[in-house]
Chains A and B, each alone.
Chain A
Amino acid sequence: MEAKKNFFATSAGIVGVGVVIGVLAALLQKWGNPGNMGICVACFERDVAGGLGLHRADVVQYLRPEILGFVLGAFVAAIAVGEFKPRSGSAPLARFLLGMCAMIGALVFLGCPWRAILRLAGGDGNALFGLAGLATGVGIGTVFFRSGYSLGRTTRQNSGLGLLMPLVIGGLLALRLIFPPVPGEAKSGVLFYSLKGPGAQHAALFVSLAVGLVVGVIAQRSRFCTMGALRDLILFRHWHLFSGFIALLAAAWVTNLVLGQFHPGFANQPVAHTQSFWNFSGMLVAGLAFALAGGCPGRQLFMSGEGDGDAAVFVVGMIVGAAFAHNFGLASSPAGIGLHGVAAVVVALITCLFIGFANVRRVGSEGE
């Protein structure tokens, strides 16, 4: 017997979800989040890594409630409709490394696909190079898929294993409540806070958390995925997810215009640099990593809330990747790419390509 039709998975549903995310992201900037960074999964996971002290870049340390809300919202939605299905076991180390590579690439560009869209919606022309790189990386990923690439099958797990990620996230939320920011202090209990820079710019806890929860719920129901949008368009000429991608861009752009947050140009854009080749290359690496791992960073969070342990491993890989990126000078800053940014892009690209080639299965054995 088939379950009731899921409105969010219809064409109108995915467009509606894109519009809601676009409006909320632009509003989050108004409410305190950094410029053109209402929502950035990579930047916010990087801030989470800083908040936990995994790196000590003092301008990007904040346990972003949006990230926690994404996982918990998806978890609640999945439980409510019977889609909480604990599963894992598909090439965990490869997924961990892909998560690291994705984060390193994203931090060379200074944003994930979500922020690339939001940067464009805010008038940052540099985002065009990032989006072109993202599409190229995802395009390379589709070549692997056409050639039989697969990380192998997952297997079902018990509920306890599926609950691990939501419990970890719940624990982080508890830490945030126990150790709130103290004005003028860079540390509160075990958590680190930024006193200046992007990490110090944030909406109020409950606003960020509420937006995160709403986005987590609707994205879980709609399967919203910025990488999947490009992948399905390139691979199948399917416009379904891409319509959500465009809706997010349009809604954020209109909201930015209304709020006076649209400032077209290339120079002096918030938390951005103008090194176009590296904006392109960083996102190429990130796009390829997201494609090979089967989801954009947001989607990986939502899937981890649904009980997908492999997606959770990818998320942890991204957080560790962020720590590496800031501890070893791989991440960019508004001044340009980091000291070892070039080497990082090259190594991350080689890693992704190796994982891609190593997992191309022969015809007839696909998915085995």
Chain B
Amino acid sequence: MSEKVDARGLSCPQPVLMALSRMREIKAGELEVLVDNEVSKENVRRAASKEGWELAQIREETGEYHLLLKRS
């Protein structure tokens, strides 16, 4: 079961801050981040990559993006 951050309806920097905070908390494993705009998707992806997390999967459902981040 992956950890989840729901940043729908929020604009940057909040989705990135929320995702980074959870990444640093759990340190490794799986983290699903939900956003609902392209900008947040790009920014979370960029921030995750800098933190050493891999973007394992990205899924779009009715205008919302589910980003699955992984770190072993």
Contacts and interface: CB of A to CB of B under 8 A. Distances in A.
Interface residues of B, number: 25
A154 B35 CA distance: 12
A136 interface: no
B10 to A, nearest CB: 5
Interface of B: 6-14, 16-18, 20, 36-39, 42, 46-47, 50, 58-60, 63
Interface of A is mostly: loop
Contact of B7 (A83, A85, A367): A367
A2 B14 contact: no
Interface stretch (A116-124, A165-173, A177-185, A227-235): A227-235
Interface in A60-100: 83, 85, 87, 90
A83 B38 contact: yes
Contacts of B9: 87, 90, 152-155, 367
Q: Which of A2, A3, A156, A367 has the most CB of B within 10 A?
A: A367
27 contacts: A1-B59, A1-B60, A2-B60, A3-B60, A6-B42, A83-B37, A85-B36, A85-B37, A90-B9, A145-B17, A150-B10, A153-B10, A154-B11, A155-B9, A156-B36, A156-B63, A223-B39, A235-B17, A236-B16, A236-B20, A236-B50, A238-B46, A238-B50, A240-B46, A366-B14, A366-B18, A367-B18
Nearest to A306: B37
A90 to B, nearest CB: 8
A156 B36 CA distance: 10
Nearest to B20: A236
B47 A236 contact: yes
Closest 4 CB pairs of A and B: A153-B9, A154-B9, A367-B10, A2-B58
Contacts of B7: 367
A83 B10 CA distance: 16
B18 A232 contact: no
Contacts of A236: 13, 16, 20, 47, 50
Contacts of A19: none
B38 to A, nearest CB: 6
A92 to B, nearest CB: 14
A85 B10 CA distance: 13
Contacts of A83: 37-38
A90 B12 CA distance: 13
Q: Which of B8, B13, B17, B42 has the most CB of A within 10 A?
A: B13
